[in-house]
Structure 1
Amino acid sequence: SFGCQGKCKEYVVEDGELSTVCYRPEGLDQLLQQTKFTRRELQILYRGFKNECPSGVVDEETFKLIYSQFFPQGDSSTYAHFLFEAFDTHKNGMVSFEDFVTGLSIILRGSVTEKLNWAFNLYDLNKDGFITKEEMTDIMSSIYDMMGTCTYPCMQNDAPKEHVDNFFQKMDKNKDGVVTIEEFLESCQKDENIMQSMHLFDNVI
């Protein structure tokens, strides 16, 4: 993890103020190779991460608390749970800065295929390599809950189910009741409507 070592401090000037960004050079260099962020961006992200999470890792409750501040109009706890599990790549109940910034790099700077792979992993709640209708319905419902009535004043209760039925009709090519990564990638990349629907998630990650 990124620890604070006196000899590794780098001083930067922002708005006339001298401030310290602290990191382990070997950790930063590794993340420069693994992500699509610049050295400066990684330093800024790290400082923000450490401000919110002084211990250097986030547990699920802290993650939910941070997320709820961004979506006060709805209940973001279920979606934050799903998102936390997608970021928690080591499955240890903690998201480190490395976990966070690696996922963020894919979401913000990844290719279409990389983003879709990440989204597939998010929807595949039990991580068995398939997305079921139930899993996608759970995700959609959590998003609608989070966005709240302020965003969707006329939303019907069955809107998430209709959204999922529409997805599955297009994605489940062999009609076996599950969507594989191959079906997911092919459907999303070939169908402009699905790609536009995917932009719903740009605002909630």
Structure 2
Amino acid sequence: SFSFRGVLSSLYSSDSDLELSTVRHQPEGLEQLQAQTKFTKKELQSLYRGFKNECPSGLVDEETFKTIYSQFFPQGDATTYAHFLFNAFDLDRNGSIRFEDFVIGLSVLLRGSVTEKLNWAFNLYDINKDGYITKEEMLLIMKSIYDMMGRYTYPSVRDEAPSEHVEKFFQKMDRNRDGVVTIEEFIETCQKFYINLYNYF
């Protein structure tokens, strides 16, 4: 059984239709969401019940999202990464996540192809949504991940580690050396990495 909290912790049943009468925001029809995602009808119903239980209004604002997500990383500070993650789920950029936004993103993350997942990841790293990833954007995401994992984990992480990792990754991704990473460069580099890793093992 899915739950909103349970699904967030990995981030990474009735036969009747969705119960919509008690929420302020009503999601799109079940059939339409089935067509847009790789979830079954029963899975969508279970996801919606969990979502509605945590967010009775049918919408998740950023502070609620941060509060829920941070509970899974008590050893660190997950608020900055949760902010970036929230923006990646907030497809229409209106400051709240609808059930549709959540379940469409979740379908990609859990059941999408490699290319679909990489497209979603590019959107996460492209903080200002201009279609490019800069070194500064990559560094902000990397620092937020280190903060989320905690400074007191073993082995200890040096302060300069995020910058070193970004420098290394960015050089590999920015293939034409123009100072930004396009989605084509991002996907090509990541796919080659996956292939090389697979062949190595």
Q: TM-score, normalised by structure 1?
A: 0.81
Q: How does 1:136-155 map onto structure 2 within 5 Å?
A: 136-155=138-157
Q: Return 5+ residue gaps in structure 1 as ranges.
A: 1-9, 13-19, 197-205
Structure 2 unaligned blocks of 5 or more:
1-12, 21-25
Structure 1 ranges of 4+ moved more than 6 A: 193-196
Partner of 1:162, secondary structure, is: helix
Check whether the contact 1:79–1:146 (CA below 8 A) recurs between aligned residues: yes
Residue 194 of structure 1: CA displacement? 8.7
2:19 aligned with 1:22: yes
Inter-partner Cα distance in structure 1 for 2:186 and 2:133: 9
Structure 2 residue aligned with 1:92: 94
Query: How many percent identity over aligned positions?
Result: 71
Q: CA deviation at 1:151?
A: 3.9
Answer whether contact 2:14 2:42 (CA < 8 A) is retained: no
Structure 1 residue 117 displacement after superposition = 0.4
Relative to its length, the structure with more strand (as a share) is: 1
Number of aligned positions between the proteins: 180
Q: CA RMSD in A?
A: 2.2
Q: What CA distance in whole angstroms lies between the structure 1 residues aligned with 2:197 and 2:42? A: 32
Alignment of 1:55-204 (within 5 A): 55-192=57-194
What corresponds to 1:32 in structure 2? 34
1-side partners of 2:182 and 2:63: how far apart?
A: 31
CA distance in 2, matches of 1:111, 1:92: 27
Which letter maps to 1:58? Answer: V
Secondary structure, aligned partner of 2:44: helix
Report the TM-score when normalising by structure 2: 0.83
User: How far, CA to CA, are the matches of 2:179 and 2:97 in structure 1?
Assistant: 32
